[in-house]
Amino acid sequence: MASAIKLSAETREKLGTRTTRRLRNAGKLPAIVYGHGEAPLAITVPTKAFFDSLDQGAHLFELGIGSKAETVLLRDVQFDHLGTNIIHADFARVDLNERVTVTIGIELTGTPIGEKDGGKLQQTLNEVEIEALVTEIPDAIHHDVSGMKLDDALHVSELTIPAGVKVLTDADSVVAVLHAILEEASTSDAATPEPEVIKKEKTADEAETKK
């Protein structure tokens, strides 16, 4: 379960591309705090401390902004074009006894029995949307798949969900399947035909006017 991770934050007076770029170079991550009917607040958080807490699967933070402390939920992060670095974070103000909707990852553990029969586990769904108390948001949904046999499918409804957590994703969605490995169909080197060109069909009136 998530406990609030303490981070010291500073307010940002100057906004804009150039300023935020300088902040990132100085090891500070631009972020915004909003919600609960209060005015949005542009802030910075220390990049390294924030990344370390993300690695631990943190969702909930306690931001020390000046003399004030705010409990916030991580709502969104923006990545650069290569998806390597986080360049901005969104925090939403929350109460500790508030139920919130968040997306969390699914982690499958164990080796299925069916793999001995030539099967291969394929995970098709990697995250689920849940509703839970702010203080009870799990790091991830852990599910043991060691009991899965060949051609078995794991659905969202069968996942091991912690108490107090409600899953909002469709219960019939397939999380993982254990398929037998099939030989790939051989592709022929036959001459490739041209694609069909989509043409607008002429109406009778248009054909007559042309004549």
Partner 1 sequence: MAMMPKRVKFRKSQRGKMKGNATRGNYVAYGEYGLQSLESAWIPAKTLEAARVAVSHAIGRSGRLFRRVFPQKSVSAKPLEVRMGSGKGEPDFWCAVVKPGTVLFELSGVSETVAKRAFARVAHKMPVRTRFVSRRHTVA
Nearer to partner 1, 14 or 40 (CB): 40
CA–CA dist 89, 79 (Å, integer)? 9
149, 112 Cβ separation under 8 angstroms:
yes
Smallest separation (angstroms) from partner 1 to the CB of 211 = 27
Nearer to partner 1, 67 or 187 (CB): 187
Nearer to partner 1, 201 or 208 (CB): 201
CA–CA dist 121, 115 (Å, integer)? 8
Smallest separation (angstroms) from partner 1 to the CB of 150 = 15
Smallest separation (angstroms) from partner 1 to the CB of 151 = 16
Smallest separation (angstroms) from partner 1 to the CB of 158 = 20
| Strands 60-65 vs 5-11: parallel, antiparallel or unpaired | parallel
Residues of this chain that interact with partner 1 (CB under 8 A) are 54, 57, 59, 74-77, 79, 81-83, 86, 90, 102-105, 120-123, 126-127, 140, 181, 183-184, 187-190, 192, 194-198
Nearer to partner 1, 41 or 137 (CB): 137
Smallest separation (angstroms) from partner 1 to the CB of 199 = 9
Nearest to 28 by CA among 38, 39, 36, 42: 42
Spell out the residues 6+ positions from residue 14 whose beta carbon is closer than 8 angstroms to its own: none
Nearer to partner 1, 14 or 79 (CB): 79
Where b means 16+ CB within 10 Å and e means fewer, 118-147 reads ebebeeebeebebebbbbebbeebebebee
Q: Which two tokens stand for residue 118?
A: 């030539």
